[in-house]
Amino acid sequence: MTTTGTALTDAQQAAVAHTVGPLLIIAGAGTGKTRVLVERYRRLRQEGVPAERILLLTFTEKAAREVLDRVEQEDYLPAGERFVLTYHAFAQRFLQEEGWLGGIPKGFRIVSEVRKWEVMRDVLLGQRPPHLFHAQRPYERIGELLKLVERAKQELVSPMEFRAWADADAGASGDDPVLAAQREAALVYAEYQARLLAEERLDFDDTIYHSVQLLAAEPSVAARQSQRFAHLMVDEFQDTNFAQSRLLELLAGPERNLCVVGDDDQSIYKFRGASVANLRRFRAVYPDAAVIQLEENFRSRGPILRAAGRLIGEDPDRLEKRLTATRGEGPPVSVLTATSVTEEADAVATLVKTAIDEGRHRPNAIAILLRANAHLHNFARALQRRGVAYQVSGGRGFYQQPEIKDCLAYLRAVDHPDDTVCLMRLLSLPRYAADPVQAGRWSRQARDDGRRFFDLLQESTDDGARRLTHDLRQFGSLALRLGVDDLFYEVMEQTHYLDLERFLGPIERLQVSANVQKLAELIAAYCDEHPDQHLSAYLKHLDTTEAAQADEEIAPLDETVNAVHLMTVHQAKGLEFGLVVIPHLVEGRFPASRRSEGLTLPNELLKEELPPAELHLAEERRLAYVALTRAREEIVGTLAARYEGIKDWRPSRFLTPVRGDDARELAAAQLLASSGSGLVEVARQGELPL
């Protein structure tokens, strides 16, 4: 959404003009909060505040780049360094400058997700706590413990504080296994932190945690920072956790020129410690703060806003606000009902194709927003079968992409030529084009004769099989003298892997190329970190990555790529589209079923008790609200009677307020019958670039 060039509303103007003292801006969806931040920045500069004395914090690098670009376009005054940063980028800078005063090594590095897992693994293997370690499943609870440690840091609970609680509780808890596990976790946390610091590494939560500890312990450091930054502005304040909120208070200092922008209706990151309670806490810490509400929506048509308003209005603990549509009316909200998950996906793909064919929306103005990343595949297949170009935006599962599996199969087969699974995968590539039935026969023959599969392929009269063994022998020789990054480059060059024009459409080619390029960058980063290690060590690192479930996001495509967006609602935050489809509106999918949190931080250590609005259902409702308010023109909610199992699934409780009295009801079967098949041949059946 953009309102550049139009006059500011009265509320926006009031927010821009308030430059002294604390300010809370409640900015509803689509109300122009980014413009307000940029205009406020420009106002401060016009009042004579140097750019280097304004600190503007965001949550994502993308948001920081967007705001910085807008600021540089609007602010024509000479400027030194501009501080438009993420929380973690700011905290890293601060600790690099001042952290030594709190015992933080000057040359600290940010620890990778894989290394965090390895450190926690080593701690568990050393301590072997009886309630957290099982010899048959030694790594089962590593992820759970890492989340607990992460939560402790977000709540500013130190290892010493956790240990003190554990010691005090030891006699009172008796044989309670949950409390016993928490006591053991306190010891694990302490050693884990000690090992990280010994390696001169911090994780992202450490950067905030140690910044707060230092600012609180050293008043002179806090004074120096508050004098350095005369004005603080914060975007998406509803997504802050306790530690981040405390950091802001310490940075604001006695001048208290702190402006925060947030919307409690869009707080959807409880899983990473965010709490809408921080909006209420801000008003408690700064009771004299000015509060300005932005309620004029410049994005969505009237029916969309009314549906979203009815839905979020069922939250009794929200801050009251009522968005008004400045763009007038539009088509009613549509609800599409199917009998099965397959029919639902086919109907959605047909609906999307029709919208494109009729010229109502360009492909990249359409988004299908899922509650969970695992549910994207059916929709990708349905779109592909209808020849609709799509892109997966921000989804995990990088290492599960077919092209990444292909590339790694080359590397694994070079390191271990007896890897039958990798050899079979490589044989199926166009370069070798082996008949799958014949490849299966070769595999069985090698097993029956007790021979190496590689040797049998090498002796074969099949051109593809012999070409593969020739390639692998050549790459094996290169691996003896090249680093993994250079070896990977040679493999890609010599096999012409990216010569994909004959096999994929234009969007698929872009996605595959982007993913392979990202793999090359990840390999290069590994080689920079481990310059003396070669192929076997890298493959072992990949095995650890898989064990740690530290998957990467699929490589993003340029925003100008004209393809339908497939993404989760979380990934759509901050974006907007002409047509938004929200599938799987059934109980258990959206809202999702509540999952056990496993090992949790003791309630006594939480800095504030979570209010009722923080319960699971309230956050699911806010997530649905975010999905609805991504749409400019049209919303389509969809559901099926049957997903897994034999029983029908109940429609989502969110459908009643979304439907209202005027929703348009669509039947998937009727939609499919009227459109014909419209199917195209899938080039690589069974594996999609998803």
| pLDDT class of 679 with cuts at 50, 70, 90 | low
H or E element: which one contains 233?
A: strand 231-234
The confidence band for 678, taking pLDDT boundaries of 50, 70 and 90, is low
- Per-residue pLDDT of 567-615, as tens digits, reads 999 999 989 999 999 999 999 999 998 877 678 888 788 876 554 435 7
The alpha carbon dihedral of 508, 517, 86, 76 has a sign of negative
- In degrees and rounded to multiples of 5, residue 317 shows phi and psi of -105, 10
Q: Distances in Å between the alpha carbon of 679 and those of 123, 353, 411?
A: 54, 11, 36
Find, among 343, 347, 301, the residue nearest to 581 by Cα: 347
| pLDDT in the model for residue 547 | 85
Query: Is the pLDDT assigned to residue 203 strictly greater than 90?
Result: yes
Which among 184, 186, 195 is positioned nearest to 116, based on CA atoms? 195
| Torsion of Cα atoms, 405 then 409 then 412 then 416, to 10° | 150
Helix axis angle, 33-46 to 10-17, nearest 10°: 40
The pTM of the whole model exceeds 0.85:
yes
Choosing among 1.20.120.80, 3.90.1480.20, 3.30.300.10, 1.10.486.10, the CATH entry for 399-547 is 1.10.486.10
Half-sphere exposure of 20 (CA within 13 A, CB side): 1
CA–CA gap between residue 569 and residue 515 (Å, rounded):
22
CA distance 431 to 186: 54
| pLDDT tens-digit series, residues 243-260 | 999 999 999 988 899 999
Radius of gyration of the chain (CA): 28
The strand order across the sheet containing 564-568 reads 390-392, 564-568, 366-370, 577-582, 631-642, 334-340, 664-667
Q: Is 21 exposed, middle or buried (0-12, 13-18, 19+ CB in 10 A)?
A: middle
pLDDT tens string 64-103: 898 888 888 877 776 678 899 999 999 999 999 999 999 9
What pLDDT sits at residue 570? 93
Domain range summary for the chain, segments of one domain joined by +: 10-97+208-298, 112-198, 324-394+559-675, 399-547
Under 8 Å between Cβ of 59 and 86: yes
For 259-296, the pLDDT digits (tens) are 999 998 898 887 666 677 788 889 999 999 999 999 99
Cβ atoms of 611 and 319 within 8 Å: the answer is no
Q: Which is more confidently placed, 57 or 450?
A: 57
Q: At what angle do helices 242-252 and 142-154 cross, to 10 degrees?
A: 30
Asked, colleague to colleague, whether 324-394+559-675 and 399-547 share their fold, the answer is no
Share above pLDDT 90 across residues of the chain, in percent, rounded to a whole number: 65
Return the beta strands (E) in 188-256 as ranges.
Answer: 201-202, 231-234
Which pLDDT tens digit goes with each residue over 393-445?
Answer: 877 789 989 999 999 999 999 999 989 999 999 999 999 988 888 888 888 88
Instruction: Answer yes or no: is pLDDT of 489 > 90.
Output: yes
Fold assignment, 10-97+208-298: Rossmann fold (3.40.50)
Cα–Cα distance, 403 to 390 (Å, whole number): 17
CATH number for the segment(s) 324-394+559-675: 3.40.50.300
Split at pLDDT 50, 70, 90, the class of 157 is very high
304-362 pLDDT per residue, tens: 999 999 999 998 878 888 999 999 999 999 999 999 999 999 999 999 999 999 999 99
Question: Would you give the DSSP letter of residue 373?
Answer: G
* 3-state SS class at 234: strand
CB atoms under 10 Å from CB of 531, counted, come to: 8
Number of residues that this document lists for the chain: 690
